[in-house]
């Protein structure tokens, strides 16, 4: 007998995955965040988040770090992607590959190498913890910024630029009025892939001897002290911030089909 | 020349060669366009028409030559400083702006006051029948509507010249016909110069004041639609514009030409004995009873085409396509008659292929890595071979590398083969024209040389072929 799969049946593996690894953990986090140690419903964890100066300070530091990292990545990635997308050079796919290649190397190895280089330059890593963290993270996340921007720029119809110039725009005006707005989906995609991980990825900080807490390390510290409730609330608030950020950036970007980038 | 010239734009010796592959897209192109004319560049894809338009727009620069606007050299002026606007083939509307913002783009850059911009946009939208579309998004419009916006966006800037790059190419047939008439009306109303690019000969004939027929980067003919259709200057134009029968013929007397096995009266005066290409439009052929025509033949096919029948008649080795309302049956013997003004005579192009050979140390010719045998003593008067060395009249030794020989061959003497390695030269068929009893092919070699080959068998466009040049058919000449 011939076995046929309906579309619904084909969705079963992922649905199971989704339930076990996404929905259940979320429910568990939500449960812990809204209960106290006796298991009773409470909002005190939520109040703690916004009253504890330590938590708010960490939130501010994380934001600052993520903002600086995103800015550095964007400043490096946009010109690079623009140059690569507009050049007719036949080796440009090789260059794109070189930018992506660090992603194939183990993360710890990369950051360790970066640490040694920074150490050699600065003498002691403890002098500039914030700067070092920004450099380390930018290095780590740069491909995630370049690829989506590069993809949107290569898809840009060159005749639009010709049309703009035909209508009297100088090169710079054509860039500001046409290229930049049309590459916005790529920028949004890149920013969301860099900004959010940069707020929580404390491994980079640890490895570069930056002892300041960011959101990720704060959650970790609560969990290692067996305070599941406050830790979960921080995770939940972060999740909400991320959701709001994503919804805002997705606002009218229906055609943000470059999300993720075709090469990823 | 002083003052405002009658010509709004002049192209002088424009050549565009692409650096990366050496391809010459436009080759020594000359053209004068008068103020207010509707000029169409017509030709198959790759003929250089779009490249020429892009150079007028300023998107591309000629490798050499001059572009004059009102007598002033604008060759190096960037696109944004030219009083010229373009309508693009794929519309090129800005997807992140609404219709108003798209049309107002050029006006805003000119920093016109807001109310003036609004008034102008409204007017131009009325002109293209899109009143009230200001706030619509580009993606909600049909192809035809998008192209109207494209036209409005260009016209609102009141350019001196409007360039249209196959603007109707992406539209369906009905919409295309409508837009053709609208564009023609718009041109008459506005009185500005239109330069239009298309590969559709019917479109060109319908709309233009002047047509420039192009092929392989060169102008083939410039003239009014009537001129181009009725008096094609060469076989390419005749074949490209409308349906036509093309025959190889010879002038046999004053205003008399022989082709298809018959002698016909014609209106063109050409020297007796000249080999000519004869063009006969299918609608100009008159079918008669057998014996009443100049020549006779047998009907081989009849196809109904709506307003007429398309009839193919075989006359000896030639095939003639006829459009007629008469309906003979297949196999019927018929006579064929032609009015003198239905016969268009073109002096046949000289299609001899020539190439330069080097001489190797055994005094054989070498070309493309192959050896060709040739008796050099016949080329150099009084010379002789002495102990395998060529000696001239005065007894001096002639060094082989001091010699260069030009070999030439007629198109009919070249044989084509599908084994690319067999021939002396190989290449790709890039053009073919049926000439009654044989096909005339253009074969382009990898080095970019075009070779004309006549062959009675049908090959396909883009076929890779080897060309055999029989040694006994080659003609040699010493290069001076």
The tens digit of pLDDT for each residue in B308-341 reads 999 999 988 888 999 999 888 999 999 999 999 8
The CA-atom distances, in angstroms, between B107 and each of A130, A264, B112, B113 are 48, 41, 6, 9
* Spatial contact of B465 and B427, defined as CB atoms under 8 Å apart: yes
List, in order, residues 6 or more apart from A232 with CB less than 8 Å away.
A28, A29, A30, A31, A32, A33, A45
Chain A residues near residue B80 by CB distance under 8 angstroms? 165-170
Is residue B384 situated within a structural domain? yes
Residue A145: enclosing H or E segment and its boundaries? helix A129-155
Same domain for B411 and B286: no
State the pairing for strand pair B72-73/B295-304: unpaired
Domain membership of residue B141 (yes or no) is yes
d(CA B442, CA B449) in angstroms, rounded, equals: 10
Q: Report whether pLDDT(B273) > 80.
A: no
Gap between the Cα atoms of B72 and B2, Å rounded:
10
| B97 lies in the same domain as B157 | yes
Among the three residues B279, B314, B347, which one is the final residue of a domain in this structure? B347
- Count of structural domains, chain B: 3
Task: Report which of A116, A186, A113, A107 is spatially closest to residue A140, judged by C-alpha positions.
Answer: A107
Same domain? For B373 and B425 the reply is: yes
One domain for residues B166 and B207: yes
CB B429 within 8 A of CB B462: yes
For residue B87, what is the nearest residue in chain A, using CA coordinates? Answer: A163
Residue B164 belongs to domain spanning: 7-230
Domain end among B323, B347, B371: B347
Range with the largest mean pLDDT of A111-120, B172-181, B193-202, B313-322: B193-202
Task: Return mean pLDDT, chain B.
Answer: 89
Q: How confident is the model at residue A3 (pLDDT cuts 50, 70, 90)?
A: low
The partner residues of B353 in beta bridges, in order of sequence, read B409
Task: With CB atoms and an 8 Å threshold, state whether A168 touches B157.
Answer: yes
How close, in Å, is residue A161 to chain B by CA atoms?
A: 9
Residues B65 and B185 in one domain: yes
Residue B169 falls inside a structural domain: yes
Residue with tokens 């003497």: B413
- B170 with B41, same domain? yes
pLDDT band of A255, cuts 50, 70, 90: very low
Considering only CB atoms, B109 lies closest to which of A160, A169, A178, namely A169
Residue B463's closest CA among B438, B436, B435, B439?
A: B439
| Other CB atoms within 10 Å distance of the CB of residue B187 | 21
The CA distance from A160 to the nearest CA of chain B, in Å, is 5
pLDDT band at A103 (very low <50, low <70, confident <90, very high): confident
B138 and B97 Cβ atoms separated by less than 8 Å: yes
A90, A91, A156, A163: best to mutate for the B interface, most B CBs within 10 A: A163
Q: Is residue B246 part of a domain?
A: no
How many Cβ atoms sit within 10 Å of the Cβ of residue A141? Answer: 24
Cα torsion B65, B68, B72, B77: sign: negative
The reply to whether B253 falls in a domain is no
- Pair (B313, B341) in one structural domain: yes
Q: Are residues B313 and B165 in the same domain?
A: no
Instruction: Looking at the complex, report in whole angstroms how far the Cα of residue B100 sits from the nearest Cα belonging to chain A.
Output: 14
Q: Among candidates B411, B410, B447, B413, which has minimal Cα distance to B428?
A: B447
| Sign, Cα dihedral of B454, B458, B461, B463 | negative
Q: How far is B340 from chain A, CA to nearest CA, in Å?
A: 50
Contact (CB<8Å) A169/B96: no
How does strand B161-165 pair with strand B193-198?
A: parallel
Residues B374, B405 contacting (CB under 8 angstroms) = yes
Of A159, A167, A177, the CB nearest to B90: A159
> Cβ A163–B78 below 8 Å, yes or no?
no
What's the confidence (pLDDT) of residue A259?
A: 36
Q: Is the pLDDT of residue A251 over 50?
A: yes
Cβ contact A162–B79 (<8 Å)? yes
Comparing CB atoms, the residue among A168, A177, A178 nearest residue B110 is A168
Q: What is the CATH number of the domain that holds B226?
A: 3.40.50.300
On whether both B401 and B474 belong to a single domain, the answer is yes
Structural domain includes residue B186: yes
Confidence grade of residue B125 (pLDDT, cut at 50, 70, 90): very high
User: pLDDT of B240-251, one tens digit each?
Assistant: 888 888 888 888
Q: Nearest-CA residue of chain B relative to A90?
A: B20
How far is A88 from chain B, CA to nearest CA, in Å? Answer: 10
CB contacts < 8 A (A, B): 61
Which pLDDT score is estimated for B348?
A: 76
Do B84 and B183 lie in a common domain?
A: yes
Same domain? B331 vs B362: no
How far out from the chain centre does Cα B124 lie? Answer: 35
Burial group, residue B265, by CB count within 10 angstroms (0-12, 13-18, 19+): middle
Contacts of A181 in chain B (CB under 8 A): 96
Give the CATH number, domain containing residue B422. 2.40.50.140
The pairing of beta strand B415-417 with beta strand B343-347: unpaired
Kindly state whether residue B24 falls inside one of the protein's structural domains. yes
Tokens encoding B10: 């002049």
Q: Which architecture, in CATH terms, is A53-250?
A: Orthogonal Bundle (1.10)
Based on the fold, state whether residues B119 and B25 are members of the same structural domain: yes
Kindly determine whether residue B96 and residue A159, on different chains, have CB atoms separated by under 8 Å: no
* Alpha carbons A133 and A139: distance in angstroms, whole number: 10
Decide if B252 is inside a domain.
no
Q: End of a domain among B230, B250, B280?
A: B230
């Amino acid at each position: 007998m011939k076995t046929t799969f309906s579309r619904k049946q084909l969705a079963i593996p992922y649905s199971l995955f989704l339930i076990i690894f996404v929905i259940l953990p979320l429910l568990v986090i939500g449960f812990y965040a809204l209960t106290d140690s006796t298991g009773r419903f409470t909002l005190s964890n939520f109040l703690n988040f916004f009253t504890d100066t330590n938590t708010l300070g960490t939130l501010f530091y994380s934001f600052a770090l993520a903002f600086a990292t995103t800015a550095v990545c964007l400043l490096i990635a946009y010109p690079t992607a623009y140059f690569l997308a507009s050049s007719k050079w036949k080796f440009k796919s090789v260059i794109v590959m070189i930018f992506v290649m660090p992603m194939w190397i183990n993360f710890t190895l990369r950051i360790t190498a970066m640490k040694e280089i920074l150490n050699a330059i600065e003498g002691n890593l403890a002098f500039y913890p914030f700067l070092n963290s920004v450099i380390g993270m930018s290095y780590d996340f740069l491909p995630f910024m370049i690829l989506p921007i590069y993809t949107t720029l290569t898809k840009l119809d060159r005749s639009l630029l010709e049309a703009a110039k035909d209508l009297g725009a100088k090169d710079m005006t054509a860039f500001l009025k046409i290229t930049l707005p049309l590459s916005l989906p790529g920028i949004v995609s890149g920013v969301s892939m860099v900004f959010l991980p940069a707020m929580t990825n404390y491994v980079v900080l640890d490895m570069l001897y930056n002892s300041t807490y960011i959101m990720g390390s704060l959650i970790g510290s609560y969990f290692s002290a067996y305070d599941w409730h406050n830790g979960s609330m921080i995770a939940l608030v972060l999740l909400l911030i991320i959701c709001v950020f994503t919804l805002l950036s997705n606002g009218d970007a229906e055609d943000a089909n470059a999300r993720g980038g075709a090469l990823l | 020349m002083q003052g405002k010239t009658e010509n709004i734009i002049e192209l002088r010796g424009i050549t565009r060669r692409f650096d990366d592959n050496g391809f010459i897209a436009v080759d020594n192109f000359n053209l004068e366009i008068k103020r207010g004319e509707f000029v169409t560049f017509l030709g198959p894809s790759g003929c250089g028409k779009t490249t020429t338009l892009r150079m007028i727009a300023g998107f591309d620069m000629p490798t050499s030559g001059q572009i004059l606007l009102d007598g002033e050299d604008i060759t190096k002026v960037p696109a944004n400083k030219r009083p010229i606007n373009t309508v693009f083939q794929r519309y090129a509307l800005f997807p992140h702006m609404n219709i108003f913002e798209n049309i107002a783009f050029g006006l805003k850059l000119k920093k016109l006051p807001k109310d003036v911009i609004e008034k102008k946009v409204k007017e131009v939208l009325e002109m293209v029948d899109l009143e009230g579309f200001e706030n619509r998004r580009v993606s909600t419009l049909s192809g035809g509507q998008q192209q109207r916006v494209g036209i409005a966006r260009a016209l609102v800037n009141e350019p001196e010249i409007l360039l249209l790059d196959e603007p109707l190419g992406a539209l369906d047939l009905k919409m295309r016909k409508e837009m053709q008439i609208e564009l023609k009306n718009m041109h008459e109303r506005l009185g500005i110069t239109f330069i239009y690019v298309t590969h559709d000969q019917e479109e060109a004939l319908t709309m233009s004041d002047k047509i420039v027929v192009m092929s392989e980067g060169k102008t083939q003919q410039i003239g009014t639609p009537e001129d181009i259709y009725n008096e094609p200057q060469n076989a390419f134009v005749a074949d490209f514009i409308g349906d036509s029968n093309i025959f190889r013929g010879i002038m046999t007397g004053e205003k008399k030409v022989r082709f298809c096995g018959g002698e016909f009266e014609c209106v063109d005066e050409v020297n007796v004995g000249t080999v000519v290409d004869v063009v006969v439009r299918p609608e100009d052929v008159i079918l008669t009873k057998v014996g009443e025509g100049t020549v006779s033949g047998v009907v081989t096919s009849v196809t109904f085409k709506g307003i007429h029948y398309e009839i193919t008649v075989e006359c000896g080795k030639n095939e003639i396509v006829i459009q007629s309302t008469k309906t003979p049956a297949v196999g019927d013997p018929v006579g064929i008659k032609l009015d003198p003004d239905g016969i268009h005579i073109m002096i046949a192009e000289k299609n001899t292929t020539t190439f330069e050979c080097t001489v190797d140390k055994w005094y054989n010719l070498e070309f493309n890595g192959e050896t060709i045998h040739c008796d050099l003593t016949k080329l150099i008067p009084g010379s002789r071979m002495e102990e395998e060395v060529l000696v001239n009249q005065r007894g001096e030794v002639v060094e082989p590398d001091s010699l260069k020989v030009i070999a030439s061959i007629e198109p009919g003497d070249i044989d084509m083969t599908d084994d690319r390695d067999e021939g002396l030269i190989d290449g790709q068929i890039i053009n073919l024209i049926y000439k009654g009893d044989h096909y005339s092919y253009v074969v382009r070699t990898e080095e970019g040389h075009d070779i004309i080959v006549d062959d009675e068998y049908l090959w396909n466009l883009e076929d890779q072929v080897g060309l055999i040049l029989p040694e006994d058919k080659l003609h040699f000449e010493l290069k001076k």
